[in-house]
Structure 1
Amino acid sequence: MNSVALAEMLRHEWGVESFASINIRSLVYNNIRNLTVLWFPMKTNISGCCSKTKDDNVIFINTNHTIGRQNFTVAHELYHLLYEDIDDFNVCGLNHNSQSEINANNFASTLLMPDSALYWFKNKNQIEDWTLEDIIKCEQYYQVSHSTMLLRLKKMNWINQNQFDEYEVNIIREADRLGYDNSLYKPSPENLKYSSIGELIRLTEKAYED
């Protein structure tokens, strides 16, 4: 089964409506047993990594990347955890062209905003030709980065290469101009550079016992 179908099935299994936006952090925490997600600064060329054993699942996210990209990375790492065999740490961002990374990217994009969701958004907002304002509104709703949104629209043939290039703008400035919260396009603030959810305490206690 391809990664797009897997993402659509997972949304259904987790009770997420096909057109709904999701809070990826709470969704993975509430649906995956023995999961820990750790957010902390990493090198720029690393988006995140993951590790799993028989008893534990761990995802690491780079807080030096934008919040939109972090959301995508959580969904990306989820593919590796759920559908691949991982012997050791799986580091993402170093080999973008591997089939595994392509599958994980397609999975993440669909989990966050499946085709049906984008069709729903397009119809609801009566969009014929996508403007920059439409794109920013959509990426704000689905909480994805501007680059992720542009790539997805181009893949669906809703914008062409010229439009793609035209809409690669100073997204923080444009979001401010339109009155949107620009935190989606920025790295984690200093007070949230280090955070976690899940089984961290239990894992720490286990480490001390071992």
Structure 2
Amino acid sequence: MKEKIELNSEAITLRKEFGEDANSPIDIFSLIHNNDDLTIVFYPMSSRVSGVCIRDGKNKIIGVNSTSTYGRQRFTIAHELYHLFFHEDFKRVICSTDFESNKDPQEKEADMFASYFLAPYEALSYVIKNKLKKEKQQLELEDVIKIEQYFGMSRQAMLWRLVNDEYLTREKADTMKSRIITSAKRLGYDDTLYTPTPEDKQYATFGKYIKLAEKLKKQDVISQGRYEELLLNGFRGDIVYGLDAEEEEVYD
């Protein structure tokens, strides 16, 4: 298995390839949507599955469990990016939600990479030492909430990382695994990071698949009917039927 320092370096390298620096929080959804080679599919999956990754030639597809929380979805995308860009010789990988299970080395690497991609080692260290004015083993629940909100990570992912980097003991981290939304709200945060995608938006496809369908229609390679069929297969009835037309007319 790769060392943490190597995985952190790979995470920073990929951030830079996507036009991001090595320190700031990132909008991983925008990053994915603006990549011409990726298709991302949001779909309700088993609670034991965080996502799936498929690579077939030049086609790269990330499937995200849309019933997981927003913070976990961000982590899942980062996890799958590791498979797509650093994991050789695979066609499909199904990824578990559990950090502590006996995963194979590449799954463990992908988890650690994802954590560093969202919160690079130096960036996390800077926030803790310079913004929170804390040292290792000094973090309290309020600090953890501030860190996870800053980097956009789920409580499970954040605690796992802080234990791995020895900022928290496992015993203390265990006391922070309940009343997650309530504790965040008491510090003035909303619950977006800790809730799943609304049910009416849990099926959706973005990225290369949609762009290719549009390209084929414009080039008259496919009929209007086939174009609409492709979009519907990708759960994009909003495009076919103009379901968001009224919202699109807002100009401010």
TM-score (norm: length of structure 1): 0.89
Preserved contact between residue 66 and residue 73 of structure 2 (Cα < 8 Å): yes
Contact 2:36 2:208 in 1 (8 A): no
**What is the CA–CA distance in structure 1 between the aligned matches of 2:90 and 2:156, rounded to whole Å?**
31
Contact 1:52 1:86 in 2 (8 A): no
1:172-206 superposed Cα distances (whole Å, 9 cap, x missing partner): 11112222111211111123212232112245569
Q: Distance in 1 between matches of 2:110 and 2:90?
A: 17
Q: What's 1:10 paired with?
A: 14
Query: In the alignment, does 2:157 pair up with 1:148?
Result: yes
RMSD of aligned Cα (Å): 2.3
Which deviations, in whole Å up to 9, do the C-alpha atoms of 1:14-37 show, x marking residues without a partner?
A: 33222200011112333x432110
Cα deviation 1:145-166 (Å, max 9, x = unaligned): 0011111111111111221122
1:102 alignment partner, one of 99, 108, 113: 108
Structure 2 counterpart of 1:63? 66
Runs of 4 or more above 4 Å deviation: 202-209
Counterpart-to-counterpart distance in 1, 2:117 and 2:57? 25
Q: Which runs of 5+ in 1 are unaligned?
A: none
SS in 2 for 1:33: coil
Match of 1:193 among 194, 202, 207: 202
Q: Which letter does structure 1 place at the counterpart of 2:71?
A: G
- Taking the aligned partners of 2:90 and 2:146, their CA distance within structure 1 comes to 40
Is the contact made by 1:35 and 1:56 (CA closer than 8 Å) also made in structure 2?
yes
Distance in 2 (alpha carbons) for counterparts of 1:9 and 1:200: 26
CA contact (8 A) 2:78 2:118 kept: yes
Distance, in Å, in 2 between the alignment partners of 1:45 and 1:168 is 18
Instruction: Figure out how many residues of one structure are paired with residues of the other and give that number.
Output: 208
Partner amino acid, structure 2, of 1:102 = K
Give the unaligned 5+ runs of structure 2. Answer: 228-252
CA displacement, residues 57-95 of structure 1 (integer Å, 9 cap, x when unaligned) = 111000111111110000000111111235432211188
* Equivalent-residue separation in structure 1 for 2:85 and 2:105 (angstroms): 16
Match of 2:182 among 170, 173, 181: 173
Counterpart Cα distance in 1 of 2:175 and 2:59: 45
Q: Distance in 1 between matches of 2:103 and 2:27?
A: 28
Distance 1:65 1:109 in 2: 17
1:84 aligns with 2:93: no
SS at match of 1:47: strand
* CA distance in 2 between partners of 1:165 and 1:90 (Å): 30
| Structure 2 partner of 1:19 | 23
Question: Which region of structure 1 is more displaced relative to structure 2, 137-146 or 165-174?
Answer: 165-174
Q: Is the 8 A contact 2:71 2:152 kept in 1?
A: yes
Structure index of larger Rg: 2
Which structure is higher in RCO with an 8 Å CA cutoff and minimum separation 6? 1
SS of match in other structure, 1:148: helix
